[in-house]
Amino acid sequence: MTVSEFITKLDDIAWGSVVLCLLVGVGIILSISTRFLQFRKFGHAMKNTLGKVFTKQTAGKGEVTPLQALTTALAATVGTGNIAGVTGAIVIGGPGAVFWMWLSALVGMCTKFAEVTLAVKYRERNDKGDWVGGPMYYIKNGLGKGFGWLSVLFCLFGFLAAFGIGNATQVQSIGEAIGSAINALGGNVQGTMLTFLGNEFTLCNLIVGIVMAIIVALVLFGGIKRIGSVTEKIVPVMAVVYILSTLIVIFANIGHIGQVFGMIFKGAFSAEAALGGAFGITISTSITKGIARGCFSNEAGLGSAPMAHAATSETNPVKQGFFGIFEVFMDTIVICTLTALTVLCAACSGGVEIAWGTSGGAAIVSAALSSVLGGGVGSIILALCLALFALSTVLSWSLYGTRCFEYLFGTKASIGYKLVFVLFAIVGATMSLSDAWNLADALNGFMAIPNLIAILTLSPVIIKLVREYFQEKNEKLPE
């Protein structure tokens, strides 16, 4: 069995029926238990998150402001998964994958709310005085010592997953986008090809990996405060640039918007009906790719974002939990949807050709943007957005991986992990793109399992905290 075949097998196991049922099932159970809090109190959540973006915030030693905690978590969720990941899901699973991505996000909003709330509720200080929290801490402090093995499993999968979702896939996607931009401007990145462990890669990818390693080292060794300071500046810029670019393409092809939504809803239950022919795309593939890419993008259920939110200066767990609702909404319902509409609108207008059922990535989004904005402009914008998206994701996941490693081996030992993580940015640049995505998906699925078990077991605590919060505001939940 080759390395690629082994990684593919792991991916199939990780995203089997058990994980999919857990992801969606836990979200549904929490939604019902809280009377669909993410919908009933959506306005309240937006008012207390987006509505306070421009409010001056301060944080003490070992803390970050609620906004910095949000942008650090968003930096991890709003990454290449929103571009290359969504496109890959559509190409492999058909337009219907978008529907299942939406569905996972709607219940995922409540899942992430629960994760963030528990993270703040059960957090503690580490040896350096920093707030630390996340699934391993709410398992230890909420479930008790008998569940210590669950914390160990989460951290093991977590620090390994960081190399995939938060490193290799990001570096690969930057290299691909920059390569496409260079080619669009008349260059040829394929001119210099290198080989490592049987994988061919361009010199451009290697350079990207080295540059990323240097930047990550400078920020990562500055701690949570430096990461928060950088992400709060990067995230708003990259989001605005990307959103405006996709809206231009969508409005330029607005006549096809009805056709696009028709493809999405038909494709959710029949790829043949959506695409007008048999392309070998099954409903199972559409569901799996939609939910997997949705989870990969918004990270609801993975237990990653709570590690960033645990460092907040906010003391009320529920109040910080609302940021979890906002994250999933912004990441999947807004940005991932814009990517999907951009690609599908361009495909319907003939601006881009999609080989359904094969593979896809950032190059398809680049072609979609270029079909309206022009080859050079579209490629440069995507390369810029991807570079910012990926950089911010790597920074956030470097924190997540470090927190998991620190929990298992201590604060001092985490220095070694940081060094390996930095160097892996270079190794990641040489990996096969399909292997990188499959490895990331597999490890995400495995780390989600202990986290979802913990959330489900601690759901009575979440319900109690929600009731107390709204009772204090004279907004008691209906019995």
Task: Give the C-alpha separation, 115 to 122, whole Å.
Answer: 11
Average pLDDT, the chain: 82
> So what's the pLDDT on residue 229?
75
- Residue 28's φ and ψ, nearest 5 degrees, are -70, -45
Handedness of CA 261, 265, 271, 273 (dihedral sign): negative
The model's pLDDT over 312-333, given as tens digits with 9 standing for 90+, comes to 888 899 999 999 999 899 999 9
Whether pLDDT at 66 is above 90: no
Least confident among 48-62, 128-142, 249-263, 396-410 = 48-62
310 near 119, Cβ under 8 Å? yes
Both structure tokens of 258: 């009805």
The radius of gyration of the chain from alpha carbons, rounded to an integer in Å, stands at 21
More reliable by pLDDT, 112 or 144: 112
Question: Domain segments of the chain: what residues?
Answer: 3-472
With CA atoms as reference, report the closest residue to 239 among 139, 336, 105, 369. Answer: 336
More reliable by pLDDT, 46 or 285: 46
Q: Residues 166-184: what's their mean pLDDT?
A: 75
> What is the band of 192 on the pLDDT scale with cuts at 50, 70, 90?
low
The secondary structure of 360-423 as a DSSP string is --HHHHHHHHHHHH-HHHHHHHHHHHHHHHHHHHHHHHHHHHHHHHHHHH-TTTHHHHHHHHHH
Task: Give the C-alpha separation, 261 to 428, whole Å.
Answer: 36
Under CATH, what is the fold of the domain 3-472? Amino acid/polyamine transporter I (1.20.1740)
> So what's the pLDDT on residue 32?
94
The model's pLDDT over 274-301, given as tens digits with 9 standing for 90+, comes to 666 555 667 777 887 788 777 777 888 8
> What is the band of 478 on the pLDDT scale with cuts at 50, 70, 90?
very low
pTM over 0.95: no
% of the chain beyond a pLDDT of 70: 84
The model's pLDDT over 338-353, given as tens digits with 9 standing for 90+, comes to 999 999 999 999 888 8
Handedness of CA 288, 290, 296, 298 (dihedral sign): negative
Q: Residues 192-199: what's their mean pLDDT?
A: 61
Q: How far is CA 81 from the centre of its chain?
A: 6
